Homo-oligomer: A and B are copies of this chain.
């Protein structure tokens, strides 16, 4: 079995911690809506943030949502069309988010998010203003009802097909970070571009 479900937290947490983008599903008048947004994990919680004007966030408070994170690791090429596949690792988290209503707590959590991406950057930034914390909504959903799904390894052809004279194997795919591109004001900065802890540099 190359494709299977996993329910242990170590597997789930490793997949969550490798990513930054999730897709959040919520229900509006009986219909599903799926929106991409950034996320992070702290302990037993997945955090989602954004503007107080975000419909995704306001619709999600104490409502059933699904947070899905997917890493597409490669395409799996077999000798038959039927067995073509993809290598991937994904996690789904089901839950009803709670809102972080204390502004100071929001600031602490946002700091953790930033430091997880760019260690040391938070203290280099212009300090957060009260009105900015007021305009930011922060939700968290407990990693309780969650599972991972993983497909890895080589192609799985029908045994009789391995002698078929067509190439079989994996085409690896990965997210890579390019060279940081300073904006026109960055020349005045005393700080260097921060190092992003996720994704391989090109």
* A residues in contact (CB < 8 Å) with B: 20-21, 23-27, 30-36, 38, 64-68, 70, 72, 74-75, 77, 79-82, 84, 86, 88, 90, 92, 94, 110-111, 114, 117-118, 121-122, 124-126, 128-129, 132, 135-136, 154-155, 157, 161-186, 188-194, 196, 199, 202
Contact = CB atoms under 8 A, between A and B. Distances in A.
B199 A173 contact: yes
Count of this chain's copies in the oligomeric assembly: 2
A193 to B, nearest CB: 5
Nearest to A94: B31
Contacts of A72: 20-21, 36, 175
Given A77-B121, A82-B129, A166-B190, 4 more contacts: A34-B68, A75-B117, A79-B125, A165-B188
Contacts of A193: 77, 167, 169, 171
